[in-house]
A and B are shown apart, each in its own frame.
Chain A
Amino acid sequence: GAVVSQHPSWVICKSGTSVKIECRSLDFQATTMFWYRQFPKQSLMLMATSNEGSKATYEQGVEKDKFLINHASLTLSTLTVTSAHPEDSSFYICSASGRGSYEQYFGPGTRLTVT
């Protein structure tokens, strides 16, 4: 149980385009979803926290207009990188947590490369 999927697993896009990444909880209702960014050989950096049906809460320094997060249902959250640039290239990982749960369940990650 507690499986989280991400799609796509990798994506290459041109500079200036937008990319959408999906995060789904497959067998539980995710009341809270988290989006992280991981640079090579570094730890995870929390970008934002989203609760179903409400606006995401962004961490300091994360541009909310650039990284659009939607959590429209209890099983799906999306991260859209708008007007992507090469510096946005990174490994993006989502996690999900159910109501009253102490744990976060992580997706397999999406590698974004902006050319």
Chain B
Amino acid sequence: AQSVTQLDSQVPVFEEAPVELRCNYSSSVSVYLFWYVQYPNQGLQLLLKYLSGSTLVESINGFEAEFNKSQTSFHLRKPSVHISDTAEYFCAVRYFGNEKLTFGTGTRLTIIP
């Protein structure tokens, strides 16, 4: 069965410290990978995506994620977090030939002042 694992349900981090949110997926086929951010009582906003090409993708607000095919991972990183990064982060995978997104269970990132 296709699945996405976000091992960390909650990650507290001090402001200006680095952070990594982990995402692994089960796959025997090619995938498209996404990270979404959700602020309280809001919908999902696309943070970044991997479709093809360079395995390192970046967002406009300093996040980056690296597609690692051998480890079936797509971890999200930021070298220095800000209070405004406090939110829920969802990793999602779309498998080739399937229009559906499979979501991880989410990681709540809390920034400590």
Contacts and interface: CB of A to CB of B under 8 A. Distances in A.
B103 A107 contact: no
Given A102-B32, A108-B42, A42 B100 contact: no
Size range of the interface on A? 20 to 34
A54 B95 CA distance: 23
A43 B99 contact: no
Interface in B38-61: 41-46, 49, 51
A111 interface: yes
Contacts of A19: none
Contacts of B49: 102-103
Interface residues of B, number: 21
Contact of B103 (A41, A43, A97): A43
Contacts of A91: 41
A77 interface: no
B46 A103 contact: yes
Given A102-B51, A102-B94, A93 B99 contact: no
B100 A107 contact: no
B106 A42 contact: yes
Contacts of A41: 108
Nearest to B32: A102
A49 to B, nearest CB: 7
Contacts of B100: 34, 46, 49
Given A43-B90, A102-B51, A102-B94, A93 B43 contact: yes
Nearest to B104: A43
Nearest to B49: A103
A98 to B, nearest CB: 12
9 closest A-B pairs by beta carbon, nearest first, are A106-B44, A108-B43, A109-B43, A106-B43, A43-B105, A43-B103, A44-B103, A43-B106, A102-B32
Interface of A: 6, 32, 34, 41-44, 46, 49, 91, 93, 95, 97, 102-109, 111
